[in-house]
Amino acid sequence: FAEMLSNPRLTSVQTMVVINQNVTLSCHSRSGSPPVTYTLFKHSQKISTLSRTDLTPALFTVIINSASDVGEYKCKAENNISSGGKYSKSFKFTLLEPVSKPVLSSPTSWAKKGRKVTLSCLSENGSLPITYVFFKGTQSISRPVMMQKREAAVVFSFINSSSDLGTYKCRAENSFPNNTKYSNSFNFTLAENRSYSQPLVISCGLILLLVVIGLAVAIPIFAIHSYKASE
């Protein structure tokens, strides 16, 4: 006797894909009377049809050329007694994009001994999550920081001596294979180098100005007194 098809199941061995990759989608109704016609849809648009004389899965090959090719996909199964066919649940791939070169930055490039400084690292592009690691020279100064959102990873570092001034870098990586990117270099400058020189220059300038003003006032007064004394 003829049996109506069960709802098909749309699956793939690979759920994470990269651009220019070929992937296979399997559409399969576990029960129902063959022959079965399977149709694959992407965003409600029919892209391929396959027929099976038994209840073996229909295998569709899809090429991931752009971000729009990750889905959503659905498939429809039909036999001689199905009315309108049976549809699967939607399926969507996860697109893996390599991380871009991260940018290492800080609110200020000046640092004081005994104070902490803030470092931020961000890759503008790349599949999430992205894991960041901070370095001073070749030595890591943080545990891996995994970011689930497109936000900068932030660490704090204490400046205890001139050796703590740099050079700093950060590293970014995600699930994309064989892709690790390092940031620009960042160096701090001790604030004391500037704080000593500026007040000294300002103080000398003020003293010189006061001397000039004093002379400008004293000379006329002295001249007046000298004139009166000579009368």
Average model confidence (pLDDT) across the chain: 87
Neighbours of 184 (CB within 10 A): 13
Tell me, letter by letter, the H, E, C secondary structure of 159-199. ECCHHHHCCEEEEEECCCCCCEEECCCECCEECHHHHHHHH
**Local structure of 114: helix, strand or coil:** coil
- Is residue 6 a contact partner of residue 31, using CB atoms and an 8 Å limit? yes
pLDDT band at 205 (very low <50, low <70, confident <90, very high): low
- The domain segmentation of the chain, as residue ranges, is 9-95, 103-190
CA atoms within 13 A on the CB side of 124: 2
pTM score of the predicted model: 0.63
pLDDT in tens, 140-188: 999 999 999 999 999 999 888 888 887 999 999 998 988 999 999 999 9
Q: Decide if 90 contacts 73 (C-beta within 8 A).
A: yes
pLDDT at res. 210: 66
The per-residue pLDDT for 194 is 45
Q: What is the pLDDT of residue 37?
A: 96
The pLDDT assigned to 226 comes to 58
- Average pLDDT of the segment spanning 193-213: 57
26-54 exposure pattern, b = at least 16 Cβ within 10 A, e = fewer: bbbbeebebebbbbbbbeeeeebeeebee
Position 92 scores a pLDDT of 95
Give CA–CA dist 183/205, Å, rounded. 43
Residue 35 contacts by C-beta under 8 Å, 6 or more apart in sequence? 51, 52, 53, 54, 79, 80
Q: Residue 223: pLDDT band by 50, 70, 90 thresholds?
A: low
Helix (H) or strand (E) holding 132: strand 130-136
pLDDT in the model for residue 228: 55
Structure confidence at residue 217 as a pLDDT band (50, 70, 90): low
- List, for residues 36-67, the tens digit of each pLDDT value: 999 999 999 999 999 999 999 999 999 999 88
If pLDDT is split at 50, 70 and 90, which confidence band does 78 have? very high
Mean pLDDT calculated for residue range 115-142: 94
Same fold, 9-95 and 103-190: yes
CATH number for the region 9-95 comes to 2.60.40.10
pLDDT, tens digit, 9 for 90 and up, residues 3-41: 899 999 999 999 999 989 999 999 999 999 999 999 999
The architecture (CATH level 2) of 103-190 comes to: Sandwich (2.60)
What are the C-alpha distances in Å from 197 to residues 43, 191, 194, 201?
A: 67, 10, 5, 6
Q: Give the Cα separation of 166 and 163 in Å (integer).
A: 7
C-alpha torsion 76→80→84→86, nearest 10? -40
